[in-house]
Structure 1
Amino acid sequence: MPYTASSVFLKSLAAAGITHAFVNWGSDHPALLEDLQRQRTESEHRGQTLPRIVTCPNEMVALSAAQGYAQATGRPAAVIIHVDVGTQALAGAIHNVDRARVPVLIYAGASPFSSLRELKGSRNEWIMWMQDVPDQSSIVRQYMRHTAQINSGRTVTQVVNRALQIAMSEPKGPVYLWARREVMEEELPDSFYLSLPITPRPPLAVSPSGLSAIDVTALSNAFISAINPLIITGHLGRNQDAVASLVTLSTLLALPIYCACPSTVNVPFSHPYLYGITYLTPTPDTERYKAHLENADVILVIDCDIPWLPLRFAPKADARIFILDGGDPFKTTVTMGMWDFSLHPGVEMVCRADAELALGQVLDSVKSSLGSMSAEVMREVSETVKGRQFSASLQHKEWIQALDEAEVVGSPATGQTQITVPQAMAAVREVTESYTPSETTGVRSLSTLVLNEAISNYPFVWEHIRPEKSGSFFTSGGSSLGWSLAAAIGSTLGIRTSEDGSPGSGGYDLTVNVVGDGSYLFGVPTSAFWIARRYETPFLTIVLNNGGWKSPKLSMLGVHPSGHGSRSFSGEQLSVGFRFDQDNDTAVIRECPDYSQVAVAATGGWAWGKRVGVHKEAGLESALQELKATLKEAVRIVVEEKRCAVVDIVLDAL
C-alpha cells in the first residue's frame, strides 16, 4: 500500500512526542483511517498504532480528555475532528484549553476542493458541499495560539513541528491545523516516508525567561523591608517545580500566601503561611482575603489571572505591587477588565518571567542581602520576620480549625437537614487516606489525583480535600462546564503512559472527579463513560447534587439581592432546578435524574453507582454513615476491580 500525506501526518505526530489522539471521525478522514489500518496490518508498531487512537463519540469530550491528559502529564495530545461541524462541536472545551494554557494539537479535515475525480479524494457525498465554509479555522482562531493549513504531504512534518513548538511555548495553549481531503490522500515515495525519524523527539519550545537584575533587586528589597507582605497566585503550580521555590521563599521571610481562583496546587495545604483559598465570591473566606489584601504593603501577584475584583475590593493605593506571569502578564486575550490589575496606582513592575526561575533569583538575592546586612539591620529584619511567623502560623491554624468545625455534623438546633459539601469532602478525604488495599492490588498506600468541577462549591472541595502534592489537583482553568468526566479519562490514560507511549506504572492509584450535577450533565456522561469502559480508564466520580444550577441563582442574587428571584420557592420555579416533583416529600432522594445509573447504562453494567442522602427512611447521621460505607466500596471497585464508580450525594436543594 502506498504511503500518503496522512501516513506522514501520523508519523510526524508520533515523532514529535504525541502518544494519543482523541478522535471523532468523519468523511474527511479516509486516508487517516486507511493508514491506521495499514499500521495494524503491517505490524509496523507491533500491532499498535502511533499515535494510539481513542475513539470519542463527542468532540467536546475528546478535547476535554486531551486537556486532562496534558494536565496530568505535561505532554500534549492530539484531537482529530470532522470539518467545520466537528470544529464547532468542540464547544466550550476550546475556551478551557485556551484559558488554562493547555497544549493540545487539534486537526480537522475539510471538504475536498475538486468534484470530478481530478484528484484522489474528490467530492463524492452531498454533505461535502454543505460543509465547505469560507474560513473554517476562523471558528476557533481567537482561542488558538496558532492556526495553519496543510497544503502538501511533503511539508506536513514542518507544519506539525511548528505548531507544537508554539503550543509548548509560554503562554502554552491549543493549536489548530486543517487540510483538504485531496491533500491528505497525496501519495508519497516510500523513501520519503521511511526517511522520517522514528524516535520521539518533541520540537524545542522557547526557553523560559527570568527577571532582569534590576527587577530581582527591587522585588527582593521590597520583601525584606515589607511589614505586611502578601503573595497571590492562581496557577503557579502548573510548573510543579515552581512550588518548592515558592514554599522556600515564603518560609524564609514568613510571607503569607493566598490562592485566588486556583486551577492547580500552588502550595501544600499544610504550609503554615498559606492563609486560604478564594474564588472571590461573597463568603467569609473572601472577607478574610479582602482584609489581608487591603492591609498588605507589598504584594506579589504571580501566575494569577484574577487576583481581586475591582468592583468589590482592591489593594490600598500606596501598596507596592509586583506582577509576574510566565506567558501573558497583560492578559491580552481578554478584551477588557483585566487591565485593572496592571493599572492599579501601586503597580511598580509587570514582568513576563517563569515562576520557578524568578523565585529562585529572588531567593538568592534575599539570601545575599541578608548575609551582607549590618548586625543592627539584620536584627530588625529578624524581629519583623519572627513576628510574621507567629501571626501567619496563627492565621493558618485558625483557618484550619474553622474548616474542621465545618465538617462536624450540626446539632438539630443548627437546622442542618442534609449532608453538606464540607462533610462530604471530609468523608472522601478520610476514606482515601485510610484505604487498606487487598494483597492482590499491589498498592500499599493510595495516591490520589483529584479533579474539581464543583463550580459554586469550588472552594469547599479545595478546603476539605486539602491537597498536599503539586500536580495532584486540577480544575478546568476556564469557565466552560463539562470538563471533568472526560478529563478523568485523559488523566487516567496519561498517568499510566510513559513518554514513549508504552504502558507505565503511573503516578496515581486513584482519580477522583468531584462534579456538580449540572456540570455532570454538561460533560455528556453517556459518551464519557462509554470511552472509560472502552479504554478501561476507571475513576471515581462524586456528584454533588444540589438539584440544578446554583451558580446562575447566585449571580442573580449578586445583582438583585432583594428582587423577585430572591423570593422564589424552588430552583424549578426559577428555571435553574432539575428536580421533577418538588411537592413529593415521601421520596426526596428520587426527585432528580439518577446520575449514577446513567453511567451504569452507558457502560452496559460495567460501571457501578449509588445515590446517598437524607430521605424518609434515613436521617442525617444514618446518611453520613451510609456515605462513608458507599465511598469505601466505590474506592475498592475503582482500585481493585478497575471499574468506574459514581457516588451521587444529595445536598440541600436550590
Structure 2
Amino acid sequence: MYTTSSVFLKTLAEANITHAFVNWGSDHPALLEDLERQRIEKGEAIPRIITCPNEMVALSCAQGYAQITGKPAAVFIHVDVGTQALGGAVHNVDRNRVPVLIYAGAAPFTFNGELPGSRNEFIFWLQDSLDQPNIVRQYMRMTAQINSGKNVNQVVMRALQTAQSDPPGPVYLWARREVMEEPLDESEFGDSSLNTRHWAPIDPATISPRTAANIAQALTYAKRPLIVTSYLGRRPDAVASLVELSERLSIPVYFSCPSSVSFPMEHPHFVGISYGMGENRWLREADVILVLDSDIPWIPVHNVPQSNARIFHIDIDVLKQNMGMFHIDAELVAKADCGLALKAIMEATDTNAIDKELITKRHQEIQTLHNDWIQGLVKAESSSLNSPIITLPLVTSTLRKLVPPKTLYLNEGISNYIPVWSHLRPSRVGSFFTSGASSLGWGLGAAIGAILGKAALPGTNENDFVALIVGDGSFLFGVPSSAYWIARRYDTPFLTVVLNNGGWRSPKLSMLGVHPTGMGSKAHSSHLSVTFGPESPDYSQIAVAAGGAWGRKITQPTEVEEALTEAIRVVREEKRCAVLDIVIEAL
C-alpha cells in the first residue's frame, strides 16, 4: 500500500537527499511502514536512515553534512517536543546558512477512529500544540504544512528549492498523522515523480557593470586597501577569485569571525584574524575596504574605519534580514554571489591604471608583516616545549605535525577560536569549519555528518581524516553520550581533542569586558560559577562508555605527542573514535 509518506520519501530520493538524521516518535508510523516496504521490494530504503538518540545532535549532523557537501540532508523529528529538542542547532543552521530540510509530524486531529492514524495514545492530547511551526519559524527560510498526498511532492520540492537558494538555510515541514497515512493508489504513486530540474535553486546573481567599475576603480587607486571576509569560503571558486584579485592589486585579506577557509592563511597577503576584540590596525588605516560575505566585519566599540574610508559591502545576505539590527557605513551595498562579483570586479579593472611601483611596495610590506605574524606563532610554539603546563600552541602545533595532509578540522574552541585557527593555519578550501554561529554543541554531530557526507558524495572534498578541537563546555553541550553512540553505529570515526580548562572561560571574559575592574575581576573563577570543578569529568571516558571509543586524559606536556600519535592511529587503523581530554591552563 502506498501513502503520503511513500511519495514524501520518494520525492526526497529523487531530489538526491541521501541521508535522513532521524529521531522517531508516535507520529511516524507511515514513514516506518514505507521504509520497510522499500526494503522488501527493492532491498534498500532511500534516504539512508541515521538513528539519532538526540535531536540537536541530529541537526548538527545535518549541518556538518551540508558544510562538507554543499547539499542538504533531511532531519525527521517528533511533534512539538522534538522540534523544541532541536535546541540551539536551529540557530546554528540558520546563521551559518546551510540548507537542511526538517520534517516533524504532528498530533492527529481526529480521535474517534475516523481516519487511519487517528488518536490512539494518551500523548496526542498533550502534544497538540496551538502553533507547532512557530517554535522555529523565525529561523526558517520556509515553514509549510503538508495537507495531502496529492501534492506532497510539490511541497517538498518547493522547500528544497527555497533551502538551497541564496541565502540558503533550513526549512521546516510538518504534517498531521492522518495526512501521512493517507492511502494512495498505485497510479497516484507512479505519477508523483517531478522533473527536479524544474525546481532548481535561484540562479546566483552578480553585481552590475557600473558597481563593478566603481569598486574596481576605488581599489586600483587606493593607497591602503583592505578586504574583510567571514564565510566566502563556502564556494571554492570564490576563494580562487579572491586570491587572484588580492595578487593583482596587492590587497591584504583579513578574517573577521570566520567560519570557513576564505583565503589561504599561508598566503603572504593574509594579514590577520579577529573575533572583534583587540586593535585592528589594518581596518583603522585602510582608505578603501571591501567587505565580502561577512556578518560582523568589525565591532564598532573596538575598531572603526577612518571616517573618510570608502566602504563597499557585497554579500549573499547583505541586509541580514533575520537579524534584529545590523549596519555598517558602506557607500554601496549589493546582494550578490561574491564569486561572480569578484570576477566582475577583475574584468572591470583597468590594468593600465595600476601603479605597479605602489603595488610592488605594498606587496613587500604586506609580506613582511605576514612573515612577522608567522614567526610570532612559531616562537610561541617553540617556547611551549619548555612550559610546565600544557599550552594551546603545543597542542595545535603537535596536531598539525602529526595529522594526515588531507585533514578536515572542526574548530569549536570558542574562547580559543583564534589560537586554534592561527596555529593550524589552514590554507586548503573546505579543510576547516566552525559552526558559523553561537550555539555550543555543534562539533560532535558535525564530525559525524561530515564523514557521512564525504562518503555519500565522493569528489566533493579531499578530506580523509577528521579532527575536532573542542572546549570542555562545548563538548558537554554536544551530548557526547548520543554522538559517540551514533559514530560507532555508523562507522564514522574521528579524533576529538578536548581543550579542558575546567569550565566556561567565555562568560568570565564577557564579564571582564564590561566590568574590567569590578568585584568579579578579583574573584576566583569558582566563585563566579563558571567552573566544572573541583572534580571535572573525565571526558574521554564518556566517549568510551557511550560508543566504544579510545580515550585518555593528558595532564603533562611530555605526554602530548605520544598520546596524539596513538589517537590518530586508533582512528585510522582501528576505525573508531579517539578522544583526548587535554588539561590546559585552568580558568
TM-score range (shorter-chain normalised) is: over 0.9
Given that 2:209 and 2:348 are in contact with CA atoms closer than 8 Å, whether structure 1 keeps it comes out as no
d(CA) in 1 for partners of 2:138, 2:266: 39
1:492 and 2:451 are equivalent in the alignment: yes
d(CA) in 1 for partners of 2:54, 2:252: 44
1:246 equivalent among 242, 248, 263: 242
Amino acid in structure 1 at the alignment position of 2:214? A
1:577 equivalent among 516, 531, 537: 531
Q: Deviations over 1:544-589 (max 9, x none)?
A: 00000000000011011111211122x3221000122xxxxxxxxx
Match of 2:481 in 1: 526
1:600 and 2:544 are equivalent in the alignment: yes
d(CA) in 2 for partners of 1:268, 1:203: 35
**1:337-348 alignment, distance < 5 Å:** 338-339=326-327, 341=328, 344=329, 347-348=330-331
Given that 2:384 and 2:394 are in contact with CA atoms closer than 8 Å, whether structure 1 keeps it comes out as no
Given that 2:384 and 2:391 are in contact with CA atoms closer than 8 Å, whether structure 1 keeps it comes out as no
1:299 equivalent among 289, 296, 301: 289
Match of 2:357 in 1: 383
d(CA) in 1 for partners of 2:432, 2:365: 28
Given that 2:68 and 2:461 are in contact with CA atoms closer than 8 Å, whether structure 1 keeps it comes out as no
- Residues 1:640 and 1:350: Cα distance change in structure 2 (over 3 Å): same
1:549 and 2:482 are equivalent in the alignment: no
Tell me how far 1:507 sits from its aligned partner. Answer: 2.9
Given that 1:16 and 1:201 are in contact with CA atoms closer than 8 Å, whether structure 2 keeps it comes out as no
Match of 1:511 in 2: 466
d(CA) in 2 for partners of 1:158, 1:101: 23
1:357 equivalent among 319, 336, 340: 340
Given that 2:293 and 2:315 are in contact with CA atoms closer than 8 Å, whether structure 1 keeps it comes out as yes
d(CA) in 1 for partners of 2:512, 2:368: 34
SS in 2 for 1:573: helix
1:649 equivalent among 561, 577, 582: 582
**1:225-240 alignment, distance < 5 Å:** 225-240=221-236
1:323 equivalent among 296, 313, 316: 313
TM-score of the pair, normalised by structure 2: 0.98
d(CA) in 2 for partners of 1:410, 1:122: 65
Q: Deviations over 1:304-327 (max 9, x none)?
A: 11011112221011000000002x
Amino acid in structure 2 at the alignment position of 1:514? I
Match of 2:97 in 1: 101
1:627 and 2:543 are equivalent in the alignment: no
Tell me how far 1:48 sits from its aligned partner. Answer: 1.9
- Residues 1:267 and 1:411: Cα distance change in structure 2 (over 3 Å): closer
- Residues 1:505 and 1:401: Cα distance change in structure 2 (over 3 Å): closer
Tell me how far 1:447 sits from its aligned partner. Answer: 1.2
Structure 1 residue runs of 5 or longer lacking an equivalent are 434-445, 581-590, 615-622
Match of 2:377 in 1: 403
Amino acid in structure 2 at the alignment position of 1:543? V
**1:98-497 alignment, distance < 5 Å:** 98-197=94-193, 203-281=199-277, 286-287=278-279, 290-326=280-316, 328-336=317-325, 338-339=326-327, 341=328, 344=329, 347-366=330-349, 369-371=350-352, 373=353, 378=354, 381-410=355-384, 416-433=387-404, 446-497=405-456
Match of 1:55 in 2: 51
SS in 1 for 2:168: coil
d(CA) in 1 for partners of 2:24, 2:445: 18
Given that 1:220 and 1:365 are in contact with CA atoms closer than 8 Å, whether structure 2 keeps it comes out as yes
Structure 2 residue runs of 5 or longer lacking an equivalent are none
d(CA) in 2 for partners of 1:274, 1:577: 36
Given that 1:16 and 1:203 are in contact with CA atoms closer than 8 Å, whether structure 2 keeps it comes out as no
Amino acid in structure 1 at the alignment position of 2:421? W
Given that 2:499 and 2:583 are in contact with CA atoms closer than 8 Å, whether structure 1 keeps it comes out as yes
d(CA) in 2 for partners of 1:147, 1:72: 25
- Residues 1:61 and 1:168: Cα distance change in structure 2 (over 3 Å): same
Number of corresponding residues: 587
2:551 equivalent among 601, 609, 617: 609
SS in 2 for 1:138: helix
- Residues 1:205 and 1:612: Cα distance change in structure 2 (over 3 Å): same
d(CA) in 2 for partners of 1:309, 1:505: 35
Given that 2:69 and 2:457 are in contact with CA atoms closer than 8 Å, whether structure 1 keeps it comes out as no
Amino acid in structure 2 at the alignment position of 1:3? Y
Amino acid in structure 1 at the alignment position of 2:106? A
Q: Deviations over 1:111-139 (max 9, x none)?
A: 00000011000001111001111110000
CA RMSD of aligned residues (A): 1.5
Q: Percent identity?
A: 57
SS in 2 for 1:408: helix
SS in 2 for 1:232: strand
Amino acid in structure 2 at the alignment position of 1:350? V
d(CA) in 1 for partners of 2:258, 2:172: 27
1:12 and 2:8 are equivalent in the alignment: no
Tell me how far 1:509 sits from its aligned partner. Answer: 1.4
d(CA) in 2 for partners of 1:537, 1:432: 17
d(CA) in 1 for partners of 2:502, 2:365: 41
1:39 and 2:58 are equivalent in the alignment: no
Tell me how far 1:203 sits from its aligned partner. Answer: 3.2
Q: Deviations over 1:6-39 (max 9, x none)?
A: 0110011111110000000001000001111111
Tell me how far 1:409 sits from its aligned partner. Answer: 2.8
Tell me how far 1:192 sits from its aligned partner. Answer: 1.8
Tell me how far 1:498 sits from its aligned partner. Answer: 2.6
Tell me how far 1:196 sits from its aligned partner. Answer: 3.8
SS in 1 for 2:474: helix
- Residues 1:270 and 1:481: Cα distance change in structure 2 (over 3 Å): same
- Residues 1:170 and 1:142: Cα distance change in structure 2 (over 3 Å): same
Given that 2:69 and 2:461 are in contact with CA atoms closer than 8 Å, whether structure 1 keeps it comes out as no
Deviates more, 1:160-169 or 1:637-646: 637-646
d(CA) in 1 for partners of 2:369, 2:460: 40
Given that 1:509 and 1:639 are in contact with CA atoms closer than 8 Å, whether structure 2 keeps it comes out as no
Given that 1:17 and 1:200 are in contact with CA atoms closer than 8 Å, whether structure 2 keeps it comes out as no
d(CA) in 2 for partners of 1:196, 1:405: 63
d(CA) in 1 for partners of 2:289, 2:179: 54
Given that 2:384 and 2:393 are in contact with CA atoms closer than 8 Å, whether structure 1 keeps it comes out as no
